[in-house]
Structure formats: structure tokens, C-alpha cells
Amino acid sequence: MARVLTTCPYCGVGCGFYLEVVDGRLVGVIPSRSNSVSKGRLCVKGWHAHEPIQHPDRLRAPLIKKNGKFEEVSWDEALEFVAGRLKEIKTKYGPEAFAVCTSARCTNEENYLMMKFARAVLGTKNVDHCARTCHAATVSGLNQSFGSGASTNSYDELPFMDCILIIGSNPTEAHPIVGWRVRSAIDNGAKIIVCDPRKILPAESADIYIQHYPGTDIALINAMINFIVTQNLHNKEFIEERTEGFEQLWQVVKDYTPESVEGITGIKSSQIKQAAKLYAASKRSCIMYSLGMTEHIVGTDNIISMANLAMVCGHVGKEFSGLYPMRGQNNVQGACDMGALPNVYSGYQSVADEEVRDKFEKLWKVDLPSGTGLTLTDMMFKAIEGALKCFYIIGEDQLRTDPDTHMIERALGSLDFLVVQEIFLSETAKKADVVLPGASFAEKDGTFTCAERRFQRVRKAIEPISGKTDGDIICEISKRLGYVMESDPKKVCDEMASVSPIFAGVSFERLEGNGLQWPVPSKDHPGTPVVHLGKFRRGAGKFIPVKNKPPAEVPDKEYPFVLSTGRLLFHYNTGTMTTRVANLIREYPRNFVQINTTDAERLDIKRRQKVKVKTRRGELEVLAEITDKIKMGVLWMPFHFSNEPTNVLTNSAFDPVCRTGEYKVCAARIEKVEG
């Protein structure tokens, strides 16, 4: 038996394990005790990570749709066909008719290649990926406040915090190994504040649990800042020496007294004061958040408000402090880092900077498009308008991940040509003209970057089931279009490092052991566990006043509930992989909706009864789960089940800055299904 050390393909925590291989087949997973992220632990998904890889449903050959039906074809036929159609579209409509969606499931090297393919080969500015639907608000918000849009500190500091404020994040279910670090902090005596409309597991052992209404985070945080300043608990020295704009912030937050936000948040002022005091007065305080903060029309402002809170108390820019944005997908951090975004090249180098463009043009020996491209959100609107003709998607299932499924259906249906590169025939792949079978994490070499900015190696354990990795496929199409790209992941990593100053010291050799946390600006730099030490990346930390704004939809007579969505421990995203694992599907075989006990009694809804959840966009029949752990007036659903897709209900209203949809709040109605 061979054991191949690699990195988990599920959430953004980045646990390390060995894949066990016998006769070219994966047979098991063993945790790596030396991995600095997971230290010998894995969650239930990680333990079963090998199982979906050899599932009979895996795509093994390319598919071309002929007369409305997929036919298996050879690689040569598929690649020739795709290259031919791409050429035709470019000639007929020009490069801006293309949009490319790269994948947070693929390696950094593949994201770099896809970003290069979009810009250098197709000539389009329109490149983005699923960070748009999760942490784009983190990138835009923290970038404005601190000058860098990623986690400020490391997992290893968590067990030694005095206070952890968890808001809009359920680490026990969504990021279990970080949840274990939080548990260690509790065992070491840390105080925990949990703010969440659902009484999630960490709330059970929290010192303060705030069950505020979804979409009222800014009111809550501004009120905490208000109390901290009026009680003289703010860090005047830090504010004076390291920040700018405090007076402008105060002019807004002075109106947000804890008493004044009681009606907005549904929380008593005394509880807000307790939480504010605990966070501010603790020596080692940090904030952990996730999609509960980012997936709102005010996602960017939510992130800025947390940055304001951290800076007011001086709880950032030093060890044992900071903000922990818990990234959803294994490599969503890396896909952002690699420039799979419409406004930056790799290493967050702006496309608007002519010197940067010049550098990439010289390296790639092509003229590059200037200006910012379309976000994933806008690609959908432009497709419906007819301005976008071709979409090339790798490893994403927009029809199940994006809000307002019916709108996405219209967008994909409006295209002239849709190419999807996938490992299973996803709902989005079913709509494609061509499906190219990609490779899983176990079938390729490369790197992933986890939520603590750590580059870690991904290693090939078995040969690609379809015969090609995603990087091979992109390079072969590129070659057919007349542009040769290096596909060897090690050499791609070297090229990326050579052109991206904050990753200049990254190489496969240096990632042996426990990887490296960026910035790594030179070959002898040891990596950076804590950023903004002594000085924020932008210079002074910027206080930006933000005001509370109601969600795009608020409950009314017709739709009297607030619907929110999230993840379960046993499943991952659209369930493409986890619903193909017997032990995981056994725990949660189908979708459901959580409703408060009192609400259920009032509507005469019984446990496990079939109910219909309706919103202005669609309706779905699921089973009811009755619980007193959810706030009255709030419904909650997971989104992992492809055949009962929650996103037919969610709202595509989006944040005007980062363009992320408002998955976390929409108005909904629930009624029992008779019989």
C-alpha cells in the first residue's frame, strides 16, 4: 500500500491527510499528525474524502450534445470542437463575448492557467469564480480597511485567545477542525460570544449568546462600538498611532446606542453592552466570521464594521487578535490569490495598473485587455441581455450554487456556447454544449491555499480517471488556439511566483513540510503568520463609517418569515461529492427546513411533516424540522441537495460593491402540504 500526503478537497480549513492507494485505487484516508492545520484530526467529510473519487458516476469521456443528447466522443474530437467554436465566437463577436469561471476546487496552478487562458488567449477581461458568491465581501471590505483582504492571523493562535467573537459563522458544522480549535480555547478558559439567529452548537457553551435578526449585523456592531467608546474602553493609543478616520466613524456610530438598536436587532441593550465590554476588555480578542456576514446586500459594509470594531479596540495587527474570515471552499483563497477575479492579476495586482499589465504582457508575450471585467453576478445578467455568448465554467455548479436558480437557468439558456469542465454531470453540466471530464484533487499535483493564507501541497495519488487533469485540458485547448502554455504544475507555480511579489518565495520545494503562509516576498522569507504587524498594508488602518440598511426583502403579510441558508457537517456545498458517500448521505439524505417550535404550533406544522416553502422566486416542498434553537419568525435551510434545490428560493439582490447575492435573508412563506 502507498500513502500519498495531500490536502483535503472540501472546506477552507485545509486539513492534511494521506490517501491510501492499492493497485492504483484509493482505499482510504489517514490523517497527518504532523500537519500544522489539522494536527492529526479530520472531520467526517475528510475521513471519507477518497470515496466519491472512484464513484461509478464519474465522467470518464468528453460529451458533446448532438440533437439535444450527449454523446461520448474522443478527447481529440472534443478539444478540436471546443477550440473551433471558441475561434468562431471570437471572430464573430470579439473577446468580450466570453466569460470564464474558474474553480475554487481546482489547484492554484490551474486557476493561474485559467486566468492566463482567459486574458492572454481568449483576450477577455471577464474572469471570476465562486468567491463572488461567498467571500468577495471580505476581499473588498478588508482591503478598504486594512489594505489586504484575507485572514489577519493563524489557527495556532485560537486556543490561546481570551475572547472569541463568532458572528455569522458555524465553525462546528462548516469548518469543524477550526471548531475544534475554538473548543480548545474554551477548555483553556476563553470567553465566547456567539451572534447568530440560530442557537448553533458553539452558542451552547458561549458566555454570551446574541440571537439577533438576520441582516441586522451593522446595527449590532455599531452599537457595540458606541458602548465601547462611551465607556472609555477604546484603545486610544492604537487609534492615534495606527489608524485614520476615527472622528468620521464616531459621527455615525454615536447615534447607534445599544438602546436605539433594540428594535432593529431584537436584542436587549444590556446584552449588547455585556458583549461589547467582554470583547473590548479582553487582552487577546479576535473575531471569527463567515458567510453569515458576507452574503448580504451589505456584505462589504458588514466586513468593514467588524474591521472598525477590531481597530477601535486595538484587537488587530498583533498576535492573538484579528479577524478570521472562514473560507468556504478548499481553495477559494487561492483562486482569489491567483487573480481569478475581474480586477486583479495574481497576487492582487490591479488590472488598472499599466506597469502591472506591461509586466504580464512581456511575460506572456501578448497584448492584454485593459480594464476591469464582469463579475460572475453581472455575467449572468449580460448573458440574459445577449451581450455574452460563451461561458467556460470549470468545477462550479451555478445552477445549484447561485441565488435565484430560475434566473441562472435563463442566463445559461441564452448562451450560444457553454463549456463545462466537471468531474460529475452536475445540473450546470447538463445544460452544456460540451462537457469535458476534469480530475479530482487525488489525480493531480499542485497547491491549495487555506483560510489562514497557507499554501499547501496537493499530490497525485492515482492517474486521472478521464486521462487528463484540468490543467492539461486548458493547455491543450490553448495550443489548438495557437498559444502554448506550460502545463507542468511545478513550472506553473514558479511562473506565478516570478510575477507575483507577495508570493515570490513560493515553490514546490519550499512547501514540503507544512507549507508557507503568504506574504512570502522572497526565497528566504519564512512566511507570515500574522499580517499588519506594526503597520497595516495600506499604511494607516482606515475607519469607514457604515450605516445599518435593511435587507433587500423584509417580511410582510404575504411572506411573513425571514429565510436564511447554510451548511451541515455531513455535506459540502451542492453535495456533488458528499451525497455520493453512503455514510454521509445516511445522516442527511434530503433537504429540510428548520422552524421555531412556537411558529410551528401556530401553523399546525408537525415534525417531519411535508411543508411548502415559498418566496417571490420559487417554491420547494421539504420536510419540517421543528426546533427552539431558531429565532421565531426565521426559517433556515441547508443547500446541499441537488434534487431539492434551496436556491430556487434565495434572492439574487446583490451587494453593490462586491456583487455577492443576498443568500442569507429573503422573505418567505411556509405552509403545510395536506395529505
Q: Which residues bind ligand SF4 (CB under 6 A)?
A: 8, 10-11, 13-15, 38, 42-43, 45-46, 175-177
CB 188 within 8 A of CB 212: no
Give the three cell numbers for residue 317: 495587527
Q: Which is nearer to ligand SF4, 29 or 420 (CB)?
A: 29
Give the three cell numbers for residue 525: 522569507
For 442-510, the DSSP string reads GG--EEEE-TTSEEEEE---S--TTS--HHHHHHHHHHHTT------HHHHHHHHHHH-GGGTT--HHH
Residue nearest to ligand SF4 (CB): 46
Please give the C-alpha separations between residue 321 and each of 152, 284, 324, in angstroms, as whole numbers: 8, 6, 9
Find the shortest distance in angstroms from Cβ 180 to ligand SF4: 8
* Helix pair angle (376-385, 405-413), 10° resolution: 60
Q: Which is nearer to ligand SF4, 46 or 147 (CB)?
A: 46
Find the shortest distance in angstroms from Cβ 456 to ligand SF4: 10
Find the shortest distance in angstroms from Cβ 39 to ligand SF4: 11
- DSSP SS3 for 360: helix
- Where do runs of H (alpha helix) occur along 314-353? 332-337
Find the shortest distance in angstroms from Cβ 364 to ligand SF4: 33
Q: What does the alpha-carbon distance between residue 509 and residue 512 come to, in Å, rounded to a whole number?
A: 6
Q: Which is nearer to ligand SF4, 246 or 572 (CB)?
A: 572
- DSSP SS3 for 547: coil
**Which of 399, 292, 400 shows the shortest CA–CA distance to 641?**
400
Q: Which is nearer to ligand SF4, 178 or 516 (CB)?
A: 178
Give the three cell numbers for residue 519: 506574504
Residue written as cell 495519488? 461
Q: Which is nearer to ligand SF4, 390 or 584 (CB)?
A: 584
Q: Which is nearer to ligand SF4, 43 or 613 (CB)?
A: 43
**Which of 113, 60, 124, 77 shows the shortest CA–CA distance to 478?**
113
Q: Which is nearer to ligand SF4, 454 or 659 (CB)?
A: 454
Find the shortest distance in angstroms from Cβ 14 to ligand SF4: 6
Find the shortest distance in angstroms from Cβ 32 to ligand SF4: 11
Give the three cell numbers for residue 344: 486583479
Residue written as cell 445599518? 548
Q: Which is nearer to ligand SF4, 55 or 66 (CB)?
A: 55
Q: Which is nearer to ligand SF4, 11 or 634 (CB)?
A: 11
- Computed on alpha carbons and rounded to an integer, the radius of gyration of the chain in Å comes to 24
CB 454 within 8 A of CB 37: yes
**Half-sphere exposure of residue 290: CA atoms within 13 angstroms, side-chain side:** 24
Q: What does the alpha-carbon distance between residue 288 and residue 153 come to, in Å, rounded to a whole number?
A: 11
| Strand-pair category, 163-167 with 191-195 | parallel
**Which of 193, 144, 150 shows the shortest CA–CA distance to 168?**
193
Find the shortest distance in angstroms from Cβ 247 to ligand SF4: 42
Find the shortest distance in angstroms from Cβ 7 to ligand SF4: 8
Find the shortest distance in angstroms from Cβ 454 to ligand SF4: 12
- DSSP SS3 for 422: strand
CB 303 within 8 A of CB 139: no
Q: Which is nearer to ligand SF4, 42 or 118 (CB)?
A: 42
Find the shortest distance in angstroms from Cβ 595 to ligand SF4: 28
